[in-house]
Amino acid sequence: MGLDSVALVLAFEEEFGIVIPDAAAEKMRTPRDVIDFVLIERQRVAQLDAMKHLTEALAGLGFANVQPDLSFNQLFGKLRVIRWQELGKRLAPLSIPRDVPHGAGGAVAGWSFLGGVIALFISQWVLAGVCALVFTLGWMWSSSMRRIPDNVDTVEKLAAHLTRPFSESEIAETVKAIVIEELGLKEGVYGEEKDFVRDLGLV
């Protein structure tokens, strides 16, 4: 027999902002089962909210009905960096990762900059000029090749990234408080692994 107390189920639903179907409640035999369910469900609900926010922001950029697994790099094309930054502004106050260097442009710019400093130090003006030119080309190459990080490169991945993880300990303490109050338990009786019916007196 699982969690069949209507009052207890309603208290959990109201506190955590979730829905506990009857079939799920029937499988909840201990407070630990409730905690595990709430963790998963709160994460799912948060991801749905993030997904809704994301799709609205993308629609504002002119990208409606985007598939969750479509790559932003493909979707935004050559203007990916500009559009990624604009998406970040539309998602505020949520924060998205910055675009990242891709290819050898950054390395070319870095080494040519170092070479230019050394050339200036030893008064090799022509070499310093060449290094400055190479640095500029490398910088332009690097800028044109910047990409959206792979770990957030789809709507699905970005929604997961934007979802704030919920504290298991916070949920566990709230479940404990609700169970003790609803069942009128005495101090020391509650336990996460205790059976609602057999150990905690749920009728």
Q: Which of 89, 24, 34, 59 is nearest to 155 (CA)?
A: 59
What range does the domain containing 20 cover? 6-98+150-183
Residue at token pair 């800028």: 143
The tokens describing 162, both together, are 């934007």
Residues 81 and 134 in one domain: no
Residues 70 and 161 in one domain: yes
Domain presence at residue 91: yes
Residues 88 and 169 in one domain: yes
Domain presence at residue 200: no
Residues 60 and 136 in one domain: no
Residues 137 and 155 in one domain: no
Residues 18 and 80 in one domain: yes
Residues 120 and 159 in one domain: no
How high is the pLDDT of residue 146?
A: 72
Residues 18 and 67 in one domain: yes
Domain presence at residue 92: yes
| C-alpha distances in Å from residue 157, one per residue of 1, 33, 161 | 38, 28, 6
In the chain, how many domains are there? 2
Residues 84 and 113 in one domain: no
Task: Compute the distance between CA of residue 157 and CA of residue 98 in angstroms, rounded to an integer.
Answer: 15
Residues 61 and 138 in one domain: no
Domain presence at residue 197: no
Domain presence at residue 28: yes
Q: What is the DSSP letter of 199?
A: T
Domain presence at residue 203: no
Domain presence at residue 122: yes
User: Average pLDDT, stretch 138-146?
Assistant: 60
- SS3 state at 138: helix
How high is the pLDDT of residue 1?
A: 44
Residues 89 and 10 in one domain: yes
Q: How many CB atoms neighbour CB 50 within 10 A?
A: 20
> Among 89-93, 112-116, 122-126, 181-185, which range has the highest average pLDDT?
181-185
pLDDT tens digit sequence for 51-82: 888 889 999 999 988 888 888 888 888 888 88
Amino acid at 161: H
pTM of the shown model: 0.53
Residues 17 and 49 in one domain: yes
pLDDT tens digit sequence for 159-172: 887 776 678 899 99
Stronger pLDDT, 138 or 189, i.e. the higher one: 189
pLDDT(105) > 70: no
Domain presence at residue 29: yes
